[in-house]
């Protein structure tokens, strides 16, 4: 990490690192499980359970919201997530939401958000405009 990087740059680096970790865990078979979804008045809500990689048997809960503008926000009840730091559990849920990784679901259907524009980019390549 660059010492004088701006907060936005540091945040983006943390998000990219979390996405990398989530991708690695998915390849190792630790994928989130979609446990609930619902259409709210102005958003789609998805709830995921993500197994801890550090604590055997620990499961974290990620709440993912997509508003009508396609902006995705997530919260996680792990230690990092509860202090609004970037955790890989939230990144993993975002990857699932965007169908970037395969994941199991305990519900038999999938709701789609009512967005009026493209979802926000989630990878460095997407952020730079080199990939969609
Ligand atoms: Zn977390």
Count of CB atoms situated within 10 Å of the CB of 91: 27
**How much is the pLDDT for 86?**
87
Distance 86 CA to ligand 1 centre (A): 8
Distance 80 CA to ligand 1 centre (A): 6
Distance 125 CA to ligand 1 centre (A): 24
Q: How would you class 41 by CB atoms within 10 Å of its CB: exposed for 0-12, middle for 13-18, buried for 19 or more?
A: exposed
Count of CB atoms situated within 10 Å of the CB of 13: 15
Distance 112 CA to ligand 1 centre (A): 24
Spatial contact of 92 and 25, defined as CB atoms under 8 Å apart: yes
Distance 54 CA to ligand 1 centre (A): 12
Distance 116 CA to ligand 1 centre (A): 29
Distance 77 CA to ligand 1 centre (A): 6
For the chain, list the strands marked E by DSSP.
33-39, 43-51, 59-67, 72-76
Distance 99 CA to ligand 1 centre (A): 19
**How much is the pLDDT for 2?**
47
Q: How do the pLDDT tens digits run along the chain, 132 residues long?
A: 445 568 889 989 999 999 999 999 999 999 999 999 999 989 999 999 999 988 999 999 999 999 988 899 999 999 988 887 889 999 999 999 999 998 999 998 888 877 776 666 677 777 677 765
**How much is the pLDDT for 81?**
83
Spatial contact of 64 and 46, defined as CB atoms under 8 Å apart: yes
């Amino acid at each position: 990490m660059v010492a004088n990087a701006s907060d936005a740059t540091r945040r983006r680096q943390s998000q990219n690192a979390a996405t990398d970790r989530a991708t690695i865990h998915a390849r190792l078979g630790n994928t989130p499980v979609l446990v609930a979804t619902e259409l709210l008045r102005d958003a789609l809500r998805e709830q995921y359970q993500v197994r801890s990689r550090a604590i055997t048997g620990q499961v974290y809960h990620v709440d993912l919201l997509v508003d009508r503008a396609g902006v995705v926000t997530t919260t996680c009840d792990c230690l990092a997530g509860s202090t609004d730091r970037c955790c890989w559990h939230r990144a993993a849920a975002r990857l699932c939401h965007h169908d970037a990784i395969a994941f199991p679901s305990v519900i038999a259907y999938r709701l789609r958000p009512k967005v009026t524009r493209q979802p926000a980019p989630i990878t460095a390549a997407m952020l730079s405009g080199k990939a969609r």
